[in-house]
Amino acid sequence: MTTTSRPAGSRIFRLLRSSAGIAIAMAVMNVGTYGFQIVSARLLGPGQYGALAGVMALLLVLSVLQLGLQATSARRIAADPEHVAAVEAAVLRTGWRLALVLGAVTVLAAPLVTKLLRLDGLLPAVLLGLAIVPATVMGAQAGVLQGERRWLPLSLVYLAVGVPRVILGIGFLLVWRSESSAMLAVLVSTWIPVLVGAWALGRHPRRESSVTETEIRRDVLRETLGSSIALLAFFAMANLDIVVARSILDEHDAGLYAGGLIVTKAVLFLPQFAVVVLFPSMSTGGESRAAVIKGLAFLGSLGALGVAATYLLPGLAIIFVGGADYAEVQDRLWMFAVLGALLSLLQLLVYAGLATRGVATKYVVGIGVLLLIGLGATASSVTGLATRVGAVDLAVLLVLVALQVVRHRRDDEVTPAG
């Protein structure tokens, strides 16, 4: 009897064409992204890695335009498939324009960034400004692919984000161990998913649209900026604590705090695929409540598991943080896992607010940012700062949960019973 087996490569591509493939690709992307931070922490040590972590945190904050572009293009294309060509053209042109403006402003602000983060020179801050350009463009490309549900090329874009960064990061840091070398690796690697996205979009023919790019470009820009404001507030909450740490703690303690944040970011971003999968359901009136509840239960369970694992196995966790140089923070790593779990739930609720066009979400998170900066500035130790950040995150989370309850009750009153 003969058997026919499919090549392993074809099975992998078939998996990546499915929505499950997005989860795998995003997991690989996040592992690669935070693998880069782990390698950097180990090769640079607390002092230099603290500076790099501050620059990377600002990169994440500035990447909100990328996410705003992706959310806008995905929503518009999914809702209006007849005008894909016009939406794609408008989103891509808007993406390039916003990317160049943001990059130029960031480069001009390099002296301020250098002083704020106490960098050794201007180069890391300049490289930050250059890297934000391809990062923003990639958001526009990914949004088009997501809106068209082209999971295979979108998966390839996500894979191209994480894998090259950790490979190039290792190579660059082995040659030149500095925050400038690490940021140069980030700059080069960030262009790779843009090339993959351009290839995927270029080989897919578009049907002529009855509207022109010019007609919808202004609406795309308005919606993108609105979404980006809410996401900016969230990413500021998720990342500005390292900036506060660099400002109020000495270089060594700030480096220890940055090492602990590797755990925070792992707990926050590894289950990020759940937000991508649930976002369409959260945008649909009949499915919104169930999607939010499922998301909170799923992310809450994963967060609790992460906290428990970090608390019970701190010796294993410290290996991934950076080894013996970070031993002083080993017994407090579970606190950073708590921060990651809270931020994971916050992220879900921010996207739930965007899905229902809730205007209060950005104000609540914005107040949280101000509280984080104000209360964080009163801390004098790693533990004190982590405790204050966690208290602010929890307070904002509870308010956003209350907003969801009120919003769904209001929808129940407006919608007549079956």
Higher model confidence: residue 81 or residue 11? 81
Higher model confidence: residue 72 or residue 417? 72
Task: Work out the average pLDDT over 181-189.
Answer: 92
Q: Where are the chain's structural domains?
A: 11-414
Are the C-beta atoms of 26 and 151 separated by less than 8 Å? no
Which tokens sit at 252? 């060594």
> Residue 118 in 3-state DSSP?
coil
pLDDT at 68 over 50: yes
Length of the chain: 418
Distance CA(28)–CA(411), nearest Å, equals: 38
Q: Which of 29-38, 96-105, 368-377 has the lowest mean pLDDT?
A: 29-38
Distance CA(301)–CA(287), nearest Å, equals: 21
Task: Work out the average pLDDT over 233-247.
Answer: 86
Distance CA(282)–CA(345), nearest Å, equals: 14
Q: What percent of the chain has pLDDT over 90?
A: 31
pLDDT band of 284, cuts 50, 70, 90: low
Higher model confidence: residue 2 or residue 68? 68
Q: Which of 7-11, 46-50, 114-118, 192-196 has the lowest mean pLDDT?
A: 7-11
Please give the span between the terminal C-alpha atoms of the chain, in angstroms, as a whole number.
57
pLDDT band of 418, cuts 50, 70, 90: very low
**224 CB contacts (<8 Å, ≥6 apart)?**
65, 68, 69, 72, 94, 98
Q: Which of 147-161, 238-252, 268-282 has the lowest mean pLDDT?
A: 268-282
Higher model confidence: residue 353 or residue 349? 349
Burial (CB < 10 A; 0-12, 13-18, 19+), residue 418, is exposed
Query: What is the pLDDT at residue 168?
Result: 92
Task: Work out the average pLDDT over 194-223.
Answer: 73
For 416, which DSSP code?
P
Higher model confidence: residue 54 or residue 296? 296
Say which amino acid occupies 29.
M
* Tally of CB atoms within 10 A around 28: 17
pLDDT at 285 over 70: no
**387 CB contacts (<8 Å, ≥6 apart)?**
335, 379
Reported as type and span, the H/E element at residue 77 is helix 64-79
Are the C-beta atoms of 158 and 194 separated by less than 8 Å? no
Phi, psi dihedral angles at 414 (to 5 degrees): -75, -40
